[in-house]
Amino acid sequence: MIFKQFSRSVLLIVGFAFWGFSAAYAQTDAAKGETIFKSKCTACHKIDQIMTGPALGPQLTEETDDKYLTKWIQNNQALIAAGNPKAVAILKKFDNKAMTTFTELSDADVGNVITYIRADWKQIQDDKAKAPVGPVEAKGPSELVVWGLIGIVIIAFILIIVLNKAAGSLERVLASNPNIVVEEEAVVAEADKNVLLKKILKNKKLVFFILVCGTIAMGSWGWVTLWNTNVHTGYQPVQPIKYSHELHAGQMKIDCQYCHGGAYKSKNASIPSLNVCMNCHKVVKTESAEIHKIYDALGYDPKTQKYDSTAAKPIQWIRVHNLPDLAYFNHSQHVKVAGLKCQTCHGPVETMKEVYQYSPLTMKWCIQCHKRTEVNAKGNAYYDSILAAHDKIKKGEKVTAAVLGGIECGKCHY
């Protein structure tokens, strides 16, 4: 009897331990599956939305044959080539778009991915079921707030009554007791004021000092005001889409010229077209409200991944850095020839959540930069061509204006 009871206890403990280990192992499988899914699947698939491929949550709910799913994920091309009817039907359903093969994944890896997808899809469905249906009923202020406001009004009314009674009592005490003397504030007579003013005006040294100080103060204010006219240091307009240079250029280390491609080859740095944004944001952060502003501007539907040109409209970006029409500035001359970094003029853009004008961009500021910046002529094609032209002149050879860049567009066209 003792042995039987002991055996039952041991078996019960082992059973609970096995159940606990199974649950933990299942969780580990889902965690591993999430890692694999994010590294290999997110370029084409989402669990609850259609991208390049279908939404995987509904697909894996309909398809319950895990062995077939494993073969399909590992090498769907082999199934199609073998004429598997289910594989051929899937290929036709998605317009003969072939799926990438993942032969490097083991059966256990694929099983982990399937476990993760089904678990996440179930969680999404549960969250939708818990969400309130229909519009949320607009409610007024709570009863606590209403009663609190009423209480404040009553307390204020009581305080007013008490203070009025206290003031009336003091006035009655003063009126009934003639021995109490109330000191009144001394009032300077108008005549005395006039006398003081005349004395100040007669003091010529004091008057001269006041005039000199006033002249210096007004002159300084006028000089600073005129000097800073049309200088917009710190100008930071609100843009139609919130774009963080701190995130893209700072944390993600994206090169400035990936977006502003004109900086190394033309006068203007250029505002990037929206197709540059879509290189990443067709897949990345598609749920963001700011990214959906890009979709709306392009007439792009993320569900069908199609563009409607009739719904497209330009984004009205607000220019931050602007030079007067009389000034000519060529980005390529500074970026490609001189080899300057963007931060030289635009400041630490990689730390700016919203771009603002960092430098004053005045003529004095440009001249000071030109005075302290050394010319690096070694291995520079621009200066090599000038030296070659000078050598020709010394030898008495013919040198035209074209050789010195006279037919470059920027020489005449601003």
**Amino acid 4: pLDDT:** 46
Domain contains 116 = yes
Residues 299 and 368 in one domain: no
Percentage of the chain modeled with pLDDT above 70: 85
Domain contains 19 = yes
Q: What is the pLDDT of residues 45-87, one digit of tens each?
A: 888 777 667 888 888 777 778 888 888 888 888 888 888 888 7
CATH of residue 90's domain is: 1.10.760.10
Residue 53 tokens, joined? 């491929």
What is the full DSSP assignment across 27-56? HHHHHHHHHHHHHHTTTT--SSS-SSS--H
**Amino acid 245: pLDDT:** 94
Residues 27 and 88 in one domain: yes
Q: How far apart are CA 245 and CA 366, in angstroms?
A: 25
Residues 214 and 334 in one domain: no
Lowest mean pLDDT among 35-44, 183-192, 300-309: 183-192
* Average pLDDT for 353-369: 93
Q: How far apart are CA 242 and CA 355, in angstroms?
A: 10
Confidence of residue 21 (pLDDT cuts 50, 70, 90): very low
Residue 387 tokens, joined? 């030296």
Lowest mean pLDDT among 155-169, 222-236, 256-270, 346-360: 155-169
Q: Is the pLDDT of residue 5 over 50?
A: no
Question: pLDDT averaged over the chain?
Answer: 81
Residue 382 tokens, joined? 């621009």
**Amino acid 181: pLDDT:** 58
Lowest mean pLDDT among 123-132, 261-270, 274-283, 318-327: 123-132
Domain contains 187 = no
Residue 204: which domain range? 195-227
Residues 214 and 281 in one domain: no
**Into how many domains does the chain fold?**
5
Domain contains 189 = no
Selected residue with higher pLDDT from 33 and 179 = 33
Domain contains 167 = no
Residues 289 and 342 in one domain: no
CB 46 within 8 Å of CB 56 = yes
Q: How far apart are CA 33 and CA 112, in angstroms?
A: 4
Please return the burial class of 250, using the count of CB atoms within 10 Å of its CB with bins 0-12, 13-18 and 19+.
middle
**Amino acid 9: pLDDT:** 52
Q: How far apart are CA 147 and CA 138, in angstroms?
A: 20
**Amino acid 2: pLDDT:** 47
Residues 119 and 31 in one domain: yes
Residue 344 tokens, joined? 């030289």
Picking from 77, 110, 127, the residue at the C-terminal end of a domain is: 127
Residue 393 tokens, joined? 């002149």
**Amino acid 135: pLDDT:** 43
Q: Coil, strand or helix: which one is 184? A: coil
Q: Where are the alpha helices (DSSP H) in 178-255?
A: 190-202, 204-227, 245
Q: Is the pLDDT of residue 184 over 60?
A: no
Residues 87 and 99 in one domain: yes
Q: Which residues have CB under 8 Å from 238's CB, separation 6+?
A: 318
Residues 38 and 92 in one domain: yes
Cα dihedral 406, 412, 413, 414 in deg (nearest 10):
110
Residues 91 and 14 in one domain: yes
**Amino acid 24: pLDDT:** 43
Residues 251 and 359 in one domain: yes
* Average pLDDT for 310-324: 92
Percentage of the chain modeled with pLDDT above 90: 25
Confidence of residue 291 (pLDDT cuts 50, 70, 90): very high
Domain contains 154 = no
Q: What is the pLDDT of residues 135-171, one digit of tens each?
A: 444 454 566 767 877 888 888 878 888 887 887 787 7
Three-state SS sequence of 278-295: HHHHCCCCCCCHHHHHHH
* Average pLDDT for 12-31: 53
Domain contains 264 = yes
Q: What is the pLDDT of residues 113-132, one digit of tens each?
A: 888 888 888 888 887 777 65
Q: Is the pLDDT of residue 231 over 50?
A: yes
> Which pairs from 234-237 meet CB under 8 Å and 24+ separation?
234/356, 234/357, 235/320, 235/356, 235/357, 236/320, 236/354, 236/355, 236/356, 236/357, 237/318, 237/320
Residues 300 and 411 in one domain: no
Residues 243 and 208 in one domain: no
Q: Is the pLDDT of residue 298 over 90?
A: yes
Domain contains 367 = yes
The phi and psi torsions of 406 (rounded to 5 degrees) equal -70, -15
Q: Which residues have CB under 8 Å from 365's CB, separation 6+?
A: 359
